Amino acid sequence: MWIRIDSHSGVAIYRQIAAQIEQAVLAGVLESGDKLPGVRELAVDLAVNPATVVKAYDELEQIGVIEQPRGRGTFVLGRPRLDDRERRERLEAAAVAFLGEAERLGFTVSEALRELERAAAGAGDTERADGEAEDHAGR
């Protein structure tokens, strides 16, 4: 299984599962119509309580990433539907997690930001799904 749980991250396990599935959808690794593992199967693979997987799947269903037709399985619907506030909160959480990991690895905030800028420069001029060019530098 490609989902990895980090018990030392401070992030709830169900959120780790949901975030990794959501990221796979955003990256195109998982596409609309793809079937996800069943709750029990994923719980066994990740060595977590099935209720944890249920909570992750429920969260993904609420934001429109997956659907769970009764008795048929769990399927990817597509990209999440997030309002501006939730998008901002998720970006902030990702930034905090990134800086926390950098600190654990012994990097300063300045070093981490330089690496982030290098990664952004290497990504090139990507386009957003809504067609607007991403331009977040200096904000």
Q: Residue 25, Cβ neighbours under 10 Å: how many?
A: 21
What is residue 82's predicted lDDT score, i.e. its pLDDT? 73
Domain map (residue ranges) of the chain: 13-76, 82-139
Q: Pick 66 or 126 by higher pLDDT.
A: 66
Closest CA to 76 of 62, 60, 87: 60
Predicted local distance difference test score (pLDDT) of residue 129: 39
**Cα separation, 32 vs 20, whole angstroms:** 16
Residue with tokens 């299984």: 1
Read off the pLDDT of each residue in 100-121 and give the average, rounded to a whole number. 92
User: What pLDDT is stored for residue 105 in this prediction?
Assistant: 93
* pLDDT on residue 112: 93
Q: What share of the chain has pLDDT > 90, as a percent? A: 56
In which element (H, E) is residue 118 found? helix 109-123
6-29: average pLDDT: 91
Indicate the fold that domain 13-76 takes in CATH: Arc Repressor Mutant, subunit A (1.10.10)
Mean pLDDT value across the chain: 85
Complete DSSP assignment for 69-110: -TTT-EEE--S----HHHHHHHHHHHHHHHHHHHHHTT--HH
pLDDT above 80: residue 134: no
The DSSP secondary structure of 8-72, one letter per residue, reads TSSS-HHHHHHHHHHHHHHTTSS-TTPEEPPHHHHHHHHT--HHHHHHHHHHHHHTTSEE--TTT
Beta carbons of 21 and 56 less than 8 angstroms apart: yes
Say what the pLDDT of residue 133 is.
39
pLDDT band at 8 (very low <50, low <70, confident <90, very high): confident
- Greatest C-alpha distance within the chain: 51
Per-residue pLDDT band for 124 (boundaries 50, 70, 90) equals low
